[in-house]
Structure 1
Amino acid sequence: MEPRDDLAPWNPDAEGEYAWRVADAPADSSAEATDGPVAEFEPDVPGAYTLELEAPDGVHELTVRAFPDPDSDGVEPRPRLRLEDEAGDDRIELVPDATLSAGRSTAVSGDEDVEGDAGEDALEVEYYVDDRDDLAVAPDGTIEIEDVTERARIYAVAVAADGRHSLPDALELVPAGDGADGDSVADDDSDGDDSADDGLDGGGVRIERPFGAPAWVENAVVYEAFTRRFPDQSEPTFETFVDRLDHLEKLGIDVLWLTPFLETKRGFGTPDELGGPHGYHTTDYFRVDPNLGTLAEFEALVDACHERGIRVVFDLVINHTADTHPFFEAAVDEDHPNHERYRDWYRWEDFDAREPDAYFDWDEIPNLDHGNPAVREYLLSVVDFWAPKVDGFRTDVAWGVPLSFWAEVYDRVTSADAEFFLLDETLPSSVEMGGGRFHAHHDDRLYSALETIGDAVATDADGVEEETNAVIDAFADAVLEADGDSPDASLVLDAVDERARRGGHPSSLWLTYVENHDTDRYLSSYGRDAQLAAGAATFTLPGIPMLYAGQEAGLRKRREPMNWGEEDEELLAYYRRLVDLRKSHPSLQTDATLERIEYETETDAAVAYAREDPERRRRVVVALHFGEGSATIGVDEPVAETDLLTGETDLSTGERIVRDGSDGASDCEPADEESAFDREITVETAVVLEVERESETRGR
């Protein structure tokens, strides 16, 4: 679903009066904003528009830049832009690093064009100052430091001749003595700690990156727990949840995503045919499910996580409520004293028939009307209540909530806590959610690629079962389709390439996963070998790897209770090694590059690729095989003989190392005379081999 957008006052007063009007527009425009405090506005010609909002506290301006519709229909790559800066004693020069095709970029300044590939139009870069700030930016992208007297935000966007344009990037200029903390880093070129910059630029102005993710999440490993079925089922409470945190600590988990735990229509006792006790049908936003415990006991759980170095992410569900929420019950009951008030809190297909607007067949979770300032005011109070208690939000059905609301939530929570984290669920994923709305996105493209590969190898795979009995996956249709009749494992690389081709924000992170609470278990659907390879893909490709509770323990149903005491120990050991490998090798972390390499194999179920750390000091080759048995992959890389994942060595003798499928046996030896490749790797499921530098190779 495509995300929606609108014009809306921030921090609205439900009793206040608001009105939008177009104050300035391009010469040929006749566009107007619709009536109401939350308005729709559709520009009719390209150009810059100035809209004014009459509000109880005065008149506010908003600049809207409209671009022509591109002819490419999303087929051609979309521009991307990362805004850098060069500061002297007297001025700051903005330096846009703009990209038209994935992987090729040119840094320019001011109004200079950014050249794309041969035959592509050049890019122009436009600068805008936040409408709330008073600062001048010269057309060439320079700012006089003496003019920076208050905190100000600068935006830049790269534009192609056909209308394709990047998401905006931003820098925030903070003058000395404004009272902000000083833990920011100026001129950091990496995709690392984008959230803030440390030190001062010339003239005492600090440069911050408002769209960057908190440093703690960039190389984190996430664990999704199905809250009501993760603790011991004899007494599943917040207190018994604490008893199982040692499992997460030993596994190496950094972030715990808890599925909803508020008072709900879908709590304990919900049968599996209705999705089990998932909690996404909220009936009270300020009260935890009393069957799980008290608010104080939840806060004790968060404290226990923090003591183990684990951050906690709250599943924020504000697109809809349950149809048993008191607000909805009042909305449909004409005799209720608050009927008139709450009727306008929901969107309706047919109010007379009491048929609410709802997505798909989700009739029991009616959509809230975010066009009502009272709804926004209430939901912002929910955000304000929970944000100080946790470390981040994962937002359910984020695509159903207008972009303007998420921009306000982002600004609100990150202004209060620069380390707060926001993850959206938008399916299919939309890059529009990046750049000041969310730090990270569900990578549904990679998930779909893994599902497609699994379908291709599952026919006679050991351990494959019938599809589990669970709620309908409304997004089962893959958004990434293979070319031709025989999809191969290189689809995982195509999925990662899509992030840049679609114009994903350079600071955006991507949550990589094999399964979650809305999908069937990969182990059940495609077998053990495929699950091991898929798991390795999520940990060795760029992104934030996530484990869904039970993936590491051998669970075969979507939402079944955790199998404490009966875990698959070999599987658990495998995922512990993956976590350790990801954390210990910079070449596998977030800002390491991904490189397609030439390889040779006789099966479509195998793929190889390289990762290299930003300093170009360490490089690895990853080989994956999703099918049964083993595969041989030829590569032109001087790979070492030790598998970093298993620790196996002594491979130079040519002896084949045979292990069961839980570990992913590997063998590496010089290629035979008929091969055009220097080395051959034999892999059962996953192998990670360090590339030897020239001096190391000569010394052997």
Structure 2
Amino acid sequence: MHHPGPPRFVAVGDEVELAPRDPDPAATYAWTVAAAPADSTAALGDEPVEYFHPDEPGHYVVALDAPDGRHELTVRAFPGGLAPASEAPSYPRSGATETTADEAAAGASGDADDGSGRADERDDAPADPDGGGRPRLTLSATVTEEAVVVEVDPRPHPDGSETAADLDVAFLLDDRDDIDREDVRIAGGELAIPLAAIADRARVHAVAVGRHGYSVPDAVDIRRGDDDAPASGDADAVEIHRPYDPPAWAEDAVIYEVYVRTFPGQGDDAAAEGGVFDAIRERLDYVEGLGVDTLWLTPVLANDDAPHGYNVTDFFALAADLGTREGYERLVEAAHDRGMRVLFDLVCNHSARAHPYYQAAVSDPGSEYRDWYEWRGPGDPETYFDWELIANFDFSHLPVRRHLLDAVDEWAPLVDGFRCDMAWAVPDSFWREVHDRLKARDADFLLLDETIPYIPDYQAGLFDVHFDSTTYAALRRVGNGEPAEAVLDAVEDRARSGFPDHAGFMLYAENHDETRYLVECGRPAAEAALGALFTLPGAPLVYAGQEFGQRGKRDDLAWAHADESLREHVRRLAALRRERPALSSAAALDRVDYDVREGWDDRVVAFRRRVDAPTGAAGGEQSGDTVVVLNFGAEPATVAVDAAAGETDLLTGDPVGTTEGLRVDSVAVLPADRS
């Protein structure tokens, strides 16, 4: 089906990329504006991939004429003043100065609509004197005997004066679904669809709208679970899905990144005899013993011999120096046998300049592959950061989309998720298609984005889990002397940025692109940073070698020189995270009062992770609440934390209580007292 996907919420002046899904490069596609506000002059051209610019607030319908028929897409445009601020990061292209990850992260701090008509009148709304910003929204749905009722949980910006009652809600029904829209009712911030109006499927999309903008969209997917059920009066046949929630397994995964070519270390016999895939497979028992349940392998496809593998020369072949396809599949199967999931590093923005298509485009200006790439001059391809060995694909060219979708189809069945390289450099419409394409086959397939700084709208049907580059940057600053409470500010920044509560995040202190944390910040801070990864909300990432003190970020791993005490620290953190529900991503994060009696005040931070207590339970231990104290300082600290219950560290089993408080070397975890 070539339908371009879910309806869009945008602001006047935004650009909406329109592309047919599952494209046939040989087919003819045509776009038109089928409906628009009275004063709009917005138009579309005659290319298969078009860029639509709403010029007036209101509802638009754009139509795609494709080989499989005519498809309509609703676009809801809000006034330009409600556009999210700095939604897309700006990265330097060829000829510009490189921006580091740290610098980028530090800069980030259907008439079934809203039923109110108020949102379109807010261009001249007075500024909120108390500040504020983008609201947030979560949808839920309840099946009654006669209808499905979609309810909203709108939340204002944490720093503003607006309340939930001040927010409007704009609904859109999915144009792909067969729904009798005259039967849909909106009242009191709820949308109701009679069961009889749902033939097969009904997808409902919505945003919250406030004075400072509109939220990240959320959606519910209402399906008839029994194809033979009558189209009315059978509530049991209706299933509710939340398509923008991360897979349950991914929210609390413990991820281990393997930089494939240097992971075996020098002189590894398995690597020498059977290839790198076999060498990694030989160490899976070790990885599992760390408490890891998810393996991220850096790129494994054929490339231009750059050790990192991100310069791909064949999107359908494995790199010969790593082993055979059979070896790769043995590795994945062995991981699955241990209950571990595997992430494939997916590169879509570019190819290597050594790719035969790029070589053909350069050698012959009349080559069909000339249109596959973006150019900034004759023979000079577009790229980012002056990277000399890659060339950016042109996603307005249908053969490019077809080629990359075919590559997605090739590798997805073998693995459990994609880590999406340079996700920010690929059009949103492509990622939406990948998301829907893969989720239709396996709702538990994970899409993890590398985007620095993170982008809240990527939560809405593009990716499941996001690199938390904001907390990464805070951990680096804290390791270099900034007050330790910056890590709590960073986690709270997720809501301030506009992420809904159901968004998923991956926490990391280092990876293959960054200097090892221990090298930059020292051993004591490295232990505390690991403690933060395993106790803050999010899925922790350990970069291979981080667990035993590796100093080079891409060097052969020095297995023979491992720091066993640091490795045991990681094992204990992973085990405690599994044992304590309060350390899961679903548990709340609370600030608590604490007093540093001995040591440096600004090197210490304490917080509580809170879960709902069972009925009748009292006190923190019964509820599972947990207090965490992190000390990034070089010397132990003594910290008084009123919320802590007991004086035995759950992480080590050692007593840490003194007359002055808790003695903390780097990390201490204790049961909490709610009273």
Describe the SS at the equivalent of 1:207.
strand
Which amino acid letter does the alignment assign opposite residue 28 of structure 1? Answer: D
Q: Is the 8 A contact 2:647 2:662 kept in 1?
A: no
Counterpart for residue 55 of structure 2:
44
Tell me which residue corresponds to 2:132.
76
Alignment-derived partner of residue 274 in structure 1: none
Alignment of 1:320 onto 2:318? no
Q: Which amino acid aligns with 1:286?
A: F
**Greater Cα offset, 22-31 or 383-392:** 22-31
Q: Distance in 1 between matches of 2:512 and 2:234?
A: 46
Partner of 1:412, secondary structure, is helix
- Is contact 2:632-2:666 (8 Å) kept? yes
- Alpha-carbon deviation of 1:160? 1.1
Give the structure 2 partner of residue 605 of structure 1: 603
Q: Which residue of 1 aligns with 2:417?
A: 392
Q: Is 1:640 equivalent to 2:629 in the alignment?
A: no
* Other-structure match for 1:197: none
Q: Where does residue 130 of structure 1 map in the other structure?
A: 174
* Aligned equivalent of 1:257: 296
Superposition deviation, residue 10 in structure 1: 0.5
**Aligned mates of 2:525, 2:392 — CA distance in 1:** 38
- % identical equivalent positions: 45
Q: C-alpha distance in 2, partners of 1:84/1:121?
A: 18
The change in CA–CA distance for 1:52 and 1:615 in structure 2 (over 3 A counts) is farther
The residue type paired with residue 91 of structure 1 is A
Contact 2:344 2:419 (8 Å CA) reproduced:
yes
Alpha-carbon deviation of 1:206?
A: 0.9
Distance apart, 1:204 and its partner CA: 2.4
Equivalent residue of 2:629, what SS?
A: strand
CA distance in 2, matches of 1:693, 1:434: 33
Q: Cα–Cα, structure 1 residues 415 and 18, in superposed 2: closer, same or farther, change >3 Å?
A: same
What's the CA shift for 1:139? 1.8
| Residue number in structure 2 paired with 1:172 | 221
Q: Which has the higher helix share?
A: 2
Matched, 1:489 2:484: yes
- The secondary structure found in structure 2 opposite 1:419 is coil
Deviation at 1:179, TM superposition (A): 8.6
2:662 to 650, 656, 681: 681
Q: Which amino acid aligns with 1:299?
A: E
Comparing 635-644 and 57-66, the one that deviates more: 635-644
Cα distance in 2, alignment partners of residues 407 and 6 from structure 1: 11
Partner of 2:196: 146
The corresponding residue for 2:331 is: 301
TM (norm. structure 2) is 0.84
Residue-by-residue CA offset, 1:372-428 (whole Å, 9 max, x unaligned): 111001110000000001110001011110000000000001101111110011111
When residues 560 and 685 of structure 1 are mapped into structure 2, their CA distance, relative to the original with a 3 A threshold, is same
Alpha-carbon distance in structure 2 between the residues aligned to 1:250 and 1:120: 46
1:158 is aligned to 208
Distance 1:614 1:427 in 2: 33
Residues 259-284 of structure 1: per-residue CA shift (max 9 Å, x gap): 001111134xxxxxxxxx11000001
* Contact 1:600 1:635 survives alignment (8 Å): yes
Tell me the equivalent position of 1:674: none
Moved more, 399-408 or 170-179: 170-179
Aligned residues: 591
- Cα deviation, 1:539-591, whole Å, max 9, x if unaligned, reads 11000000000000110011011222321101100000010011110000010
Q: Please name the residue that 2:363 is paired with.
A: 333
1:19 and 2:30 are equivalent in the alignment: yes
Structure 2, gaps ≥5 residues long: 1-13, 87-130, 615-622
Distance change in 2, residues 1:91/1:119 (3 Å): closer
- CA distance in structure 2 between the partners assigned to 1:397 and 1:280 by the alignment: 10
**Residues 637-690 of structure 1: per-residue CA shift (max 9 Å, x gap):** 1421111111113xxxxxxxxxxxxxxxxx33465xxxxxxxx32212111111
2:443 counterpart letter in structure 1: A
Query: Are 2:627 and 2:644, in contact at CA under 8 Å, matched by a contact in 1?
Result: no
**What's 1:623 paired with?**
629
What are the superposed Cα offsets for residues 481-523 of structure 1, whole Å, 9 maximum, x if unpaired?
xxxxxx3111101111111111113322110001000000001
Alignment of 1:377-388 (within 5 A): 377-388=402-413
Contact residue 145 and residue 203 of structure 1 kept, 8 A: no
Structure 1 Cα separation of the partners of residues 315 and 249 of structure 2: 27
Give the equivalent residue in structure 2 for 1:246.
285
CA distance in 2, matches of 1:620, 1:670: 21
In the TM superposition, residue 315 of structure 1 has moved relative to its aligned partner by 0.2
Q: Cα gap change, 1:525/1:161 in structure 2, threshold over 3 Å: closer, same or farther? A: closer
TM-score, normalised via structure 1 length: 0.81
Does 2:669 correspond to 1:668?
A: no
C-alpha contact 2:251 2:505 (8 A) present in aligned 1: no
Distance 1:226 1:581, change over 3 A: same
**Kept after mapping to 2: 8 A contact 1:88/1:201:** no
What residue identity is the alignment partner of 1:691? Answer: A
SS in 2 for 1:172: strand
Letter in 2 for 1:159: V
Query: Within 2, Cα distance between the matches of 1:630 and 1:614?
Result: 33
Aligned to 2:578: 583
SS of alignment partner, residue 416 of structure 1: coil
Q: Following superposition of structure 1 onto structure 2, how do residues 503-542 of structure 1 map, counting pairs within 5 Å?
A: 503-542=498-537
| 1:89 aligns to 2:145 (yes or no) | yes
Q: Which residue of 1 aligns with 2:320?
A: 290
**Alignment counterpart, residue 456 of structure 2, candidates 420, 423, 431:** 431
Name stretches of at least 5 consecutive residues in structure 1 with no aligned partner: 104-115, 181-199, 268-276, 457-486, 650-666, 672-679, 695-700
Shift of 1:178: 3.0
| Counterparts in 2 of 1:94 and 1:17: CA distance versus 1, 3 Å | same
Partner deviation per Cα, 1:148-185 (whole Å, 9 max, x = no partner): 220221111111144x11111111111141399xxxxx
Instruction: Evaluate the alpha carbon distance shift between residue 143 and residue 632 of structure 1 in structure 2; reply closer, same or farther with a 3 A threshold.
Output: same
Moved more, 560-569 or 539-548: 560-569
Q: 1:204-254 deviations in whole A, cap 9, x for unaligned?
A: 211111111222212210000001111243325211211111111111111
1:462-481 equivalence runs, <5 A: none
Assess, with a 3 A threshold, how the Cα gap between structure 1 residues 5 and 260 changes in structure 2: closer, same or farther: farther
Question: Secondary structure of the residue that 1:437 maps to in structure 2?
Answer: coil
2:545 to 539, 544, 550: 550
Q: Structure 1 CA distance, aligned partners of 2:227 and 2:579? A: 39
1:379/1:70 CA distance change after superposition, 3 Å: same
Among candidates 554, 563, 571, match of residue 568 of structure 1: 563
CA contact (8 A) 2:32 2:63 kept: yes
Query: For the structure 1 residues 149 and 73, does the alpha-carbon distance in structure 2 shift closer, same or farther, using more than 3 Å as the test?
Result: closer
Give the Cα–Cα distance (whole angstroms) in 2 for the partners of residues 442 and 154 of structure 1.
Answer: 28
How far apart in 2 are the matches of 1:365 and 1:507?
A: 36
**AA matched with 2:263:** F
SS of aligned partner of 1:315: strand
Q: State whether residues 529 and 626 of structure 1, in contact with CA within 8 Å, keep that contact through their aligned partners in structure 2.
A: yes
Contact 1:18/1:56 (8 A) holds in 2: yes
